[in-house]
Structure 1
Amino acid sequence: MPFSYSRWCVVLMLPGSQAGHSRRVLINYVRRGQGKPLLLVHGLGSSWHTWQTILEPLAAERAVVAIDLPGFGKSPPLAGEVSVQTLAAAVALFLREHDLLGTDAVGSSLGARLVLELARRGEVLGAVVLLGPGGFWVGWERLAFQSSIRMSMQLARTLKFAMPSITAHEWSRSLLLARFSPYARKLAPALVLEEMRSYASARSFEPMLKDFMRGAPLKGSPLGRISKPMVIGWGRLDRICHPRQATRVQQLFPDARLHWFERCGHYPHWDAPEETAQLILETTAD
């Protein structure tokens, strides 16, 4: 079944806006497969293309909806504040407008942080899988994340016209994504090229990174509050969000189960696609 591409107009009342001052938000998405819906939310700088390594096995059993967050991929940025809170609000309204409230969700990095925020609120999502959620750093970990992400963005923009050649070779893919994946050389050149193009064109990259660095820490949820399955997936070799951060997330969300990807970096869906897809399908099964 071919991918279907769509852009949907929703109306979002941003935090702090006056009554009657609503704003239109366009969210691009792809949908594939049939059955119980499953939402995929990408990380900072990425787009829905980052999920291509696991789309096929997921779509074989689920109706997969992979979105471009506002200001990333083909989705235009929000008018006004760009933050974890406004992006989470945009995703929640997207779900409401598409009759997807209560759907299961998977998030990666920033996307996992957004999914956590929505899961904490309750009634928005069903079962969730969180792959390396960002925002749980302390001390030097915050600066390490910021420098790694910003360096990737700068490389993507500076070398934009040379990226087709750079991503075509195993050695250069390894250098380009060394901090993200220990197996970047094995990734499909088209996937890496699309990721770099997403970084280069992400219009909300800087304001979102600023909020991510300086925003208020995420509030947790007491034991017994979250009734739906919640799994935190973390790569043992993650050099973007260091593995020690996983225990901090679990302390804030004691209802969650922690799953370690033993030989994976920041993106388990790249480094261990079969294991990742299996974890998602098992966690979100009826």
Structure 2
Amino acid sequence: MNYVRRGTGKPLLLIHGIGSSHRSWDRIIDGLAAERDVIAVDLPGFGDTPPLTGEVSIGTLSDAITDFLAENNLIGVDAVGSSMGARLVLELARRGGILGAVVSLDPGGFWQGWEIPFFYHSVRLSAQLVKQLQPVLPTLTNNPVSRTLLFAQFSARPWKIPAQVALNELRTFIPTPTFSELLTNLAYGEKQQGAPAGSIQLPLVIGWGRQDLVCLPSQSKLALRLFPDAHLHWFSHSGHFPQLDVPEEATQLILDVTDGTYQPQTDQSHEQDTQPKTTQSDSILIGVSAAIVLGVGLFLAFRPVEQR
């Protein structure tokens, strides 16, 4: 498994989401490495790590991570995951004896009903669009308007993402065989099992962006029901990727949780309002941007083959 390692101190594992790589952490890795020995991996089938042979699922990826930790004498390492990676660290925490403190950022796998096809088709279409746009991505990511259109579903303020960070993220967001199999598994495959109250003794914090349009904030209720030992941390000005939208806040949360100084927020209970909190202007911009992305994506995905 390919990885980058920076810094000194207590080890900290970073696990990216679907269609990404270790570059997903570019905005926060230096801040973390100032105080931690950071290991950012490329999951099998992403970045520079070859794909798994056989089934690709949350279960087999969790096994692969466990093997990697054992081979590198990292069992018990503190860990942070994003999106699919956030679900992976929850699964590893549930298994017990593999990880230390855990921070799970906007985890997938807690959608229900109409949210399942919404997740599947919107992400699949976005990946198809990005694949078609690969030749012109440098130009598109360098412009704040087109960058906003491309990241409308994933970021609360996509125009603020640095151009190079956006380009690195989109270079790997394409429907490879591993990507496609995992996307289907995430949406329609194995359900995330929980951990009974009292079974997770080490710190566990689930961070969620209030403006997440991939894993909707209301899904945090099910996450807390399945993981009652977890604390819920709200990112008030973030979409699906806090490490992109609010890098300083995400960095501080990770450092606080992993050094034992984290103080839970007061509005984390199961009964609190978990709907996205956006301004009217943000909602209009994101809605219009998403509609344009979907329209362009449909055109690119379904136009006649001879025109491609």
TM-score between both structures, scaled by the size of structure 1: 0.89
Report the residue type matching 1:267 in the other structure. F
Shift of 1:184: 1.1
Mapped to 1, the partners of 2:245 and 2:169 lie a distance apart of: 15
Aligned counterpart in structure 2 of residue 146 of structure 1, from 110, 116, 120: 120
Which residue, 9, 12, 20 being the options, matches 1:38? 12
Q: Letter of the 2:86 partner, please give it.
A: A
Q: Which of 33, 36, 61 is matched with 1:62 structurally?
A: 36
Give deviations 1:23-50, integer Å, cap 9, x for gaps. xxxx110000011100000001011101
TM-score, length-normalised on structure 2?
0.83
Correspondence for 1:20: none
For residues 214-257 of structure 1, the C-alpha deviation after alignment (integer angstroms, 9 at most, x for no partner) is: 22211111111100000000000000000000111011111100
Which digits, 9 at most, give the CA deviation of each residue in 1:63-90, with x for residues without a partner? Answer: 0000000001111100111111001100
Q: Which AA in structure 2 matches 1:205?
A: F
Could you tell me how far 1:148 is from its partner in structure 2? 2.1
Residue 259 of structure 2: SS of its match in structure 1? coil
* Greater CA drift, 202-211 or 134-143: 202-211
Aligned to 2:190: 216
2:116 and 2:188 in contact (8 A); partners too:
no
Relative to total residues, which structure has the larger helix share, 1 or 2?
2
Question: Which residue of structure 2 lines up, in the alignment, with residue 136 of structure 1?
Answer: 110
Distance 1:122 1:45, change over 3 A: same
1:200 counterpart = 2:168: no
**Aligned residues of 2:128 and 2:175 also touching (Cα < 8 A):** no
- What is the letter of the counterpart of residue 48 of structure 1? H
Closer/same/farther in 2, CA of residues 73 and 202 from structure 1, 3 Å limit: farther
Once the 2 structures are TM-superposed, how far is the Cα of residue 203 of structure 1 from its aligned partner?
4.4
Q: 1:67 to 1:202 in 2, by over 3 A?
A: farther
Seen in structure 2, the aligned counterparts of structure 1 residues 95 and 80 have a Cα distance that, compared at 3 Å, is same
Within a 5 Å distance, the mapping from 1:1-286 to structure 2 comes to 27-200=1-174, 202-285=176-259
CA offset at residue 199 of structure 1? 1.1
- Alignment partners' CA distance in 2, 1:45 and 1:74: 12
Mapped contact 1:50–1:195 kept (Cα < 8 A) = yes
The CA distance in 2 between the partners of 1:283 and 1:260, in whole Å, is: 14
Q: Where does structure 2 lack aligned partners over 5 or more consecutive residues? A: 261-308
| 1:200 CA drift (Å) | 2.8
Tell me the secondary structure at the aligned position of residue 26 of structure 2.
helix
Q: Indicate if the aligned counterparts of 1:174 and 1:182 stay in contact, CA closer than 8 A.
A: no
For residue 202 of structure 1, report the CA deviation from its aligned partner.
Answer: 4.4
Distance (Å, rounded) in 2 between the aligned partners of 1:94 and 1:74: 15
Residue type matched to 2:62 in 1?
A: A
Q: Which one-letter code corresponds to 2:146 in the other structure?
A: S
Cα drift, residue 170 of structure 1: 0.3
C-alpha RMSD of the superposition: 1.0
Flag the 1:202–1:35 CA change in 2: closer, same or farther, 3 A.
farther
- Identity rate, percent: 53
Instruction: Confirm or deny: 8 A CA contact 1:73 1:202 kept in the other structure.
Output: no
The whole-number CA distance in structure 2 between the counterparts of 1:200 and 1:226 is 35
Question: Does structure 1 conserve the Cα–Cα contact (< 8 Å) formed by 2:124 and 2:175?
Answer: no
SS at match of 2:45: coil
In structure 2, the CA distance between the partners of 1:194 and 1:93, relative to structure 1 (3 Å rule), is: same
In 2 relative to 1, CA 36–202 (structure 1 residues): closer, same or farther, beyond 3 Å? farther
In the alignment, is the contact (CA less than 8 A) between 1:236 and 1:263 conserved in 2? yes
What is the letter of the counterpart of residue 170 of structure 1? P
1:37 aligned partner, one-letter code = P
Q: 3-state SS of the aligned residue for 1:204?
A: helix
Q: How far apart are the structure 2 equivalents of 1:264 and 1:148?
A: 19
Q: Whose strand fraction is larger, Structure 1's or Structure 2's? A: 1
CA distance in 2, matches of 1:71, 1:187: 25
CA distance in 1, matches of 2:212, 2:26: 20
Give the match's secondary structure for 1:101. coil
- Structure 2 CA distance for aligned equivalents of residues 266 and 66 of structure 1: 19
